[in-house]
Chain A
């Protein structure tokens, strides 16, 4: 069973908000939900993480469903530099998946 499922790809116009969904129906009570992104030819980098409550930082916001079986990463204004593969991760289950490839259209 996949631990997390994400759309393979998404597109967004520049300066528009982007909502990247993730389903994690097998999440346990102690699993934090993490988001990392991988720019071309680089290793993944941390974006945000949360447990139950919605979280905000300078890069993005994380909205977590009340039952914790899904979450949404929100980029408030997409820029060309946000084009990357975004991974929704349950580190405690050591599962990364294949992520969502985000294309930002100028």
Chain B
């Protein structure tokens, strides 16, 4: 079956602009998580959506937001872009990553969207 797809793969924006990234999870997966990856900070968790609801959120400013649609596709938006937002944004889907109760489903990552802010 098809893997996680992310569009676009590459983006170049300027400071102050906003950007929307899209993620289509594996069919049947209801949990979608977003991560930011930079050389200095590694992988950092942004947020997780399950059944159209944000279930968990990382420590990022309010300029970073997201949503999930009824077909489990997800978008994330970054407003008022800053140079430091340049990064690889990864999306991952799973059947259901149940937090805090010890159960776990494997996360499947997409190839990422490379965002460059000039």
Interface set of A (CB-CB < 8 Å, partner B)? 30, 32, 34, 36, 41-46, 49, 51, 87, 91-92, 94-99
Given contacts A30-B102, A32-B102, A42-B111, contact A96 B42 (CB under 8 A): yes
Cα–Cα distance between A36 and B90 once the two chains are bound (Å): 14
Closest Cβ–Cβ distance, residue A45 to chain B (whole Å): 7
CB distance B101 to A43 under 8 Å?
Answer: no
> CB-CB < 8 A to B101: which residues of A?
30
Q: Give chain A residues whose Cβ lies under 8 Å from the Cβ of B58.
A: 94
> Which residues of chain B are near A95, meaning CB under 8 Å?
45
Q: Considering only CB atoms, which chain B residue lies closest to A46 in the complex?
A: B106
Please tell me the number of chain B residues within 8 Å of chain A, measured between CB atoms.
Answer: 24
A30 B109 Cβ-Cβ under 8 A = no
Residue of B with least CB distance to A89: B43
Number of residue pairs A-B, CB distance < 8 angstroms: 52
Evaluate contact between B104 and A49: CB separation under 8 angstroms.
Answer: yes
A30 CA to B99 CA, complexed, in Å: 9
Instruction: Give bound CA distance, A99 to B39, whole Å.
Output: 11
Task: Name A98's contact: one of B4, B42, B102 (CB within 8 Å).
Answer: B42
Interface 1/0s, chain B 78-95, versus A by CB < 8 A?
A: 000000000000101000
Contacts of A46 in B (CB 8 A): 106-108
Q: Are B102 and A43 in contact (CB under 8 A)?
A: no
Known A44-B90, A91-B107, A99-B43; further 15 A-B contacts with Cβ < 8 A: A32-B104, A36-B107, A43-B90, A43-B109, A44-B43, A49-B106, A51-B102, A87-B42, A91-B104, A94-B45, A94-B56, A94-B58, A97-B42, A97-B43, A98-B42
Complex: chain B residue closest to A29, CB-CB: B102
Which of A41, A87, A98: most chain B Cβ within 10 A? Answer: A98
Q: A96 touching B45 by the CB < 8 A rule?
A: yes
Closest CB of chain A to B50's CB: distance in Å? 14
Which residues of chain A have C-beta atoms less than 8 A from B112's C-beta? 43
